[in-house]
Amino acid sequence: MPLPASLISPEPPGWRDRKRYLWLFSTIMPGMVGLSWLCVFFLGPSAFWWLGLVLVFVIGPVLDYLGGADTAGPPDGALLALEKDPFYRWATYLYLPCQYLSLAFACWLWAGGGWLSMSTVDKLGLMVAVGIVGGCAINVAHEIGHTNQRTEKRLSKIALAQCWYGHFPVEHNHGHHVRVATVEDPTSSWLGESFYAFLPRSVGGRVRTAWRLEARRLARRGHSPWSLRNEVLTAWPMSLALYAGLAVWFGPVVLPWLIGQAVVGICLLEMVNYMEHYGLRRQKLPNGRYERVRPAHSWNSNSVLSNIFLFHLPRHSDHHANPMRPYQALRHFDEAPELPAGYAALLPLTLVPPLWRRLMDHRVVAHYGGDIRLAALPPNHPLMAHNETSPGRKVPAHAR
């Protein structure tokens, strides 16, 4: 893709995006692989192979806290110019070459390159770092994939190939965004549900939903789902070709580590997804339809560092209320429920169900004014019947 003649457009009159060049810092994430190698090579301790994990889940929360929150956003008059500015799109594209350079470098290290002796524990630490890069790449693909442009859809699949998640755009755009915060959405977590119960439900649900959506789309056009017109079937072979190519180039020894990093990347994505809608539910109207998606149906976070490195993914409330709005134009809404900390601090807590529930359950109940029946209860919960609109039950005014 040729670089636009004018990569950087003038700022909208009367307003300036203070984060404009900070988005480029997202490329630091793939740099963790090379940084780990440099630290081990020049400083010696093999513990530096775990530097990626420490940077994201130890140093990251501290910097998130120190950076504070930023609720500022672009005014209405600046949105159009901001959305058309090509600089922001190229900031996301830049992640992809960095992503694949780090993956190739990691394969070289796993295969015995780098002039360093690596133990199994060392390779495991490197695997986690590469998986974090891949998990963040899914988020980049998520941003690029919210478009109707064929080139960007292809770039999205390339970003997803590392973690075998090529079916994600189909399920996310046409499944999750339609059914978010409803009983029918397997990727919206329930109140009281642990991450370990949510993970298989979400991963399996994504695959089934993506396949059904593509099969239905192709059937309407008179085509079989078993064809290259199927977006799912054209995505998975890219991962197969990538892994096969890396195994041929660096040797089959890299395959277990490639599979391991994919698992880490998928788990990282699903940990984020678990947080984003935990316990939130759209109510059914008397006509049987769900209320429209609003900022109140997604957890929001204005933590500066997490937003910069994840292209405003923590401003998830606006993203779901306005799914075609690009990351640079996402804004804060007062009605959106606010997470108590940034993503970097909260992600590890999702792995400890008692701590997570202690932190979040009362916030869910408070969001619904103390009426737990309005929350996303598990299907077998005794109060689940009250999630549906029934005679004599008052429907919230905002949902009508």
- How confident is the prediction for the chain on average, in pLDDT? 90
> Does residue 283 fall inside a structural domain?
yes
Does residue 4 carry a pLDDT above 50? no
Between CA 92 and CA 153 the distance in angstroms is 13
Q: Residue 256 has what pLDDT?
A: 98
Between CA 376 and CA 284 the distance in angstroms is 12
> Does residue 134 fall inside a structural domain?
yes
> Does residue 20 fall inside a structural domain?
no
Closest CA to 107 of 237, 267, 235, 260: 260
120: exposed, middle or buried (Cβ count in 10 Å: 0-12, 13-18, 19+): exposed
Q: Residue 7 has what pLDDT?
A: 42
Q: Residue 146 has what pLDDT?
A: 80
Between CA 210 and CA 231 the distance in angstroms is 9
Number of domains in the chain: 1
Does residue 388 carry a pLDDT above 70? no
The answer to which of 9-23, 228-242, 366-380 has the lowest mean pLDDT is 9-23
pLDDT band at 79 (very low <50, low <70, confident <90, very high): confident
In terms of pTM, does the model score above 0.85? Answer: yes
> Does residue 229 fall inside a structural domain?
yes
Average pLDDT, stretch 63-80? 86
Q: Which range marks the domain in which residue 90 is found?
A: 25-385
> Does residue 237 fall inside a structural domain?
yes
206-220 pLDDT per residue, tens: 999 999 999 999 999
Half-sphere exposure of 132 (CA within 13 A, CB side): 25
Does residue 288 carry a pLDDT above 90? no
> Does residue 3 fall inside a structural domain?
no
Answer whether 349's CB lies under 8 Å from 61's CB: no
Give percent above pLDDT 90 in the chain. 76
Closest CA to 268 of 79, 93, 142, 178: 142
